[in-house]
Structure 1
Amino acid sequence: MQDKETPPAERVRRIVEKLLEWYRGEPWWRQPNVDPFHVMLAIALSNRSDYRSVRRVVEKLAEHYPDPWSILRDPEGVKEIIRPLGLVELKTRVVLGLARLVAEAGSVEALLSLPPSEAREKLLSIPGIGEKTADVLLMALWGIDVFPVDTHIARIAARLGLVEPGTRPERVRKILEPLIPKGFRARTHLAMIRLGRNVCRPRNPRCSICPLYSLCPSANSCNPCH
């Protein structure tokens, strides 16, 4: 008998199918010639920042600092490059923490060879990296088949009636992850973030263009809803 909090697997499967028909992209970190250290930086800096701004900052960091060791030698310069993203002290600590992690391992490759459980523990030891960011890093760089949940995903799940409103992201993950088919979790994660930013927004959700309109019990009931 299913726990009352657990949405039916078939409904989640239909939601995932519709989402992935709408979102055709592949995870950006799987593109050829992407530096794994820059992937780390981009993921860690993406909290509360838009993708275009993060991309510009990471490109500038890569231009000025060819490796983690050069980042560690110039924390003030790093801070100035990061400043446009806001939360500059926190984000600088995150970048320096990741650079230190790689330096202590000896190389990015050595860090990525760690068992995921050990890597997760080390990532969580960096001030400013929480469970969601650590899980996205594990998903992108260690290839772990997880379903990280942020505030966008938690909001969409509540509007879809998959969880109660106000359910914490980590609890949302525990409910939904087993129901999302293996191999599709990374794309579903990215699709729901795109949906949350552009369509199922916190305010003024654009229900009429939502790919999940026919499956959503909250469609057109949000106030206001466009």
Structure 2
Amino acid sequence: MLYFLSVGETLDCLLATLALDWGLGWGHSPAGRVPLFSTPCLQAAVDTHVHRIANRLKWTKKMTKSPEETRRNLEEWLPRVLWSEINGLLVGFGQQICLPVHPRCQACLNKALCPAAQGL
């Protein structure tokens, strides 16, 4: 997998994340949450739920193929103060309502705002 430095991300932060990702066998999303406690390395934690929902809501410039690509897209426009919030807000929603297969759009309070629910 290729990793790219985001604006403001230092090589030290990337290496620390990769050490957790590869060295400890963590995925990139949990590894990305650890730097939240060491602010220079802050990055949005994007797992498969956030990746799927961001694409369905068209929060990315184009459909992204990986959580890493989605993270880079979100970090371009999402205010930095929300990077630590996005994962916690969307994971449960992705597990209960915005499912990978057969999303429960009729039960979703956001269906009027969702391009995917509108068939767009």
Q: Distance in 1 between matches of 2:14 and 2:115?
A: 38
1:176 aligns with 2:77: no
Q: What's the counterpart of residue 158 of structure 1?
A: 55
Shift of residue 172, structure 1, vs aligned partner: 0.7
Alignment TM-score, normalising by the size of structure 2: 0.71
| Percent identity of paired positions between Structure 1 and Structure 2 | 29
Q: What's the counterpart of residue 20 of structure 2?
A: 123
Alignment TM-score, normalising by the size of structure 1: 0.41
Runs of 4+ in 1 over 4 A off after TM superposition: 115-118
Task: For residues 55-106 of structure 1, give each alpha carbon's deviation from its aligned partner in whole angstroms, at most 9, with x where no partner exists.
Answer: xxxxxxxxxxxxxxxxxxxxxxxxxxxxxxxxxxxxxxxxxxxxxxxxxxxx
- Aligned residue identity for 1:128: G
Task: For residues 116-165 of structure 1, give each alpha carbon's deviation from its aligned partner in whole angstroms, at most 9, with x where no partner exists.
Answer: 455334323414223222111212x3244321211111111221123444
Structure with greater helix percent: 1
Q: Distance in 1 between matches of 2:84 and 2:69?
A: 18
Contact 2:64 2:70 in 1 (8 A): no
- Pairwise CA RMSD: 2.4
Aligned residue among 21, 38, 48 for 1:142 = 38
Assess, with a 3 A threshold, how the Cα gap between structure 1 residues 117 and 150 changes in structure 2: closer, same or farther: closer
Contact 2:46 2:70 in 1 (8 A): yes
Q: Distance in 2 between matches of 1:136 and 1:155?
A: 18
Higher Cα Rg: structure 1 or 2? Answer: 1
Structure 1: runs of 5+ lacking an equivalent: 1-114, 222-226
Aligned residues: 106
Structure 2: runs of 5+ lacking an equivalent: 1-11
Counting only pairs closer than 5 Å after superposition, residues 48-59 of structure 1 correspond to structure 2 as none
Q: Distance in 2 between matches of 1:220 and 1:214?
A: 7
